[in-house]
Structure 1
Amino acid sequence: MQIRAFQESDKDFIVSLALRFMDFELMSWRDPDKMEESQLSLAQESVDNLSPGTEIFVAEDETGELLGFLEVQPHKDKLNDIEQGYIVAIAVSPQGEGKGVGKGLMTKAEEWSRQKGYRQLILNVFNNNLRAVNFYKHLNYEIEVVKMVKEL
């Protein structure tokens, strides 16, 4: 597997993986159709208009099959005024599961962050996405902030 910089030809693949971000049980108040629409829209916007400092990397196998992607960008922690690396999105295709693609992309994110001089790398994940939460915990990420929601 190799991890390379994003190319224009990768856009459709990246957008196609956007629905993987919903591959868990949503809270009852979240509208699945609206979530799907939002995820697709966010992914399309991301590949069409990269924010300053944002980089996207794509994992592919030796045959050129696309297996996953990673989007990272600079982030400033407003509570203590430090620069951090931020994982905007990371997704692995069904064909890439169990092949070390996710771990490879996370390693790439850490390398990118170190090269930028960041001492922390942060990400957001839905609490109900237990597969992802456990994956990040396995890689020594810690939960720092928990968003609480009460349906009224």
Structure 2
Amino acid sequence: MTIPDSARPAAEAPIHVRDSGPDDLDAVLAILPRLAAFELPPKRVAEDLWRHDAALLRAKVAGERPDCHVRVAEGEDGALLGVAILTLRPEPMSGAPSAHLEVLAVAEGAEGRGVGRALMEATEAVAAGHGARSVTLHVFANNDRARRLYERVGYASEIHRYIKHLDD
């Protein structure tokens, strides 16, 4: 999937979104720490934000997760600009076919170029192509940049999750 010139500022280079392959593993793993590129809530450890996702990615590469779909965005020079990881699963409340966006991470220096939007569009197309009627995702309340993107592309907050740390 290539984003048309009309959807991108004229000064920006084209963004190409494609299926990720085994050769992308190291580059994708290197982008995952970007999931913690905001002020983390108290008691949160950055590595915890991507540990499960790294394991999911490795399982996908090993052929163990056919429900998992990974898309990468790259620039004209082939440099990886971002990654999205989507899993197909029933919607938790209705049981309807759905998908969950596990990861949306944009490489440092590639922010504000439409990479996140391009990856969102690509993963939504994958979900729809597999019969999903919705896509869900989780985002920290104070991750304002991510929340703004999700809202711009049509996502709405539905459930609020509360936490109380019992070791205080």
The one-letter code of the counterpart of 2:106 is: V
Moved more, 15-24 or 99-108: 15-24
Residue matched to 2:12 = none
RMSD over aligned CA atoms reads 1.6
Contact 1:85 1:120 (C-alpha < 8 Å) held by counterparts: yes
SS of 1:144's partner is coil
Q: Distance in 2 between matches of 1:74 and 1:82?
A: 11
Q: 1:108 to 1:133 in 2, by over 3 A?
A: same
1:57-72 paired onto structure 2 within 5 Å:
57-72=71-86
Superposed CA deviations along residues 69-119 of structure 1, whole A, max 9, x for unmatched, are 111111212321211021111111023212111110001011111111212
Contact 1:14 1:43 (C-alpha < 8 Å) held by counterparts: no
SS of 2:93's partner is coil
Residue matched to 2:51 = 41
SS of 1:21's partner is helix
Deviation, 1:52, is 2.6
Deviation, 1:47, is 2.2
SS of 1:79's partner is coil
Q: Which segments of 5 or more consecutive residues in structure 2 lack a partner in the other structure? A: 1-14
Deviation, 1:131, is 0.9
Query: Which of 78, 82, 89 is the matching residue for 1:75?
Result: 89
Superposed CA deviations along residues 49-74 of structure 1, whole A, max 9, x for unmatched, are 02231111111111111101111111
Residue matched to 2:117 = 103
The one-letter code of the counterpart of 2:142 is: N
The one-letter code of the counterpart of 1:120 is: S
Q: Size of the alignment, in residue pairs?
A: 148
Moved over 4 A (4+): none
1:1-152 paired onto structure 2 within 5 Å:
1-30=15-44, 32=45, 35-36=46-47, 38-50=48-60, 51-152=65-166
- Aligned sequence identity (%): 28
Contact 2:71 2:123 (C-alpha < 8 Å) held by counterparts: no
Larger helix share, 1 or 2: 1
Contact 1:60 1:66 (C-alpha < 8 Å) held by counterparts: yes
Contact 1:4 1:57 (C-alpha < 8 Å) held by counterparts: yes
Q: Distance in 1 between matches of 2:141 and 2:116?
A: 18
The one-letter code of the counterpart of 1:48 is: R
Contact 2:106 2:116 (C-alpha < 8 Å) held by counterparts: yes
SS of 2:84's partner is strand
TM-score (norm 1): 0.89
Moved more, 98-107 or 73-82: 73-82
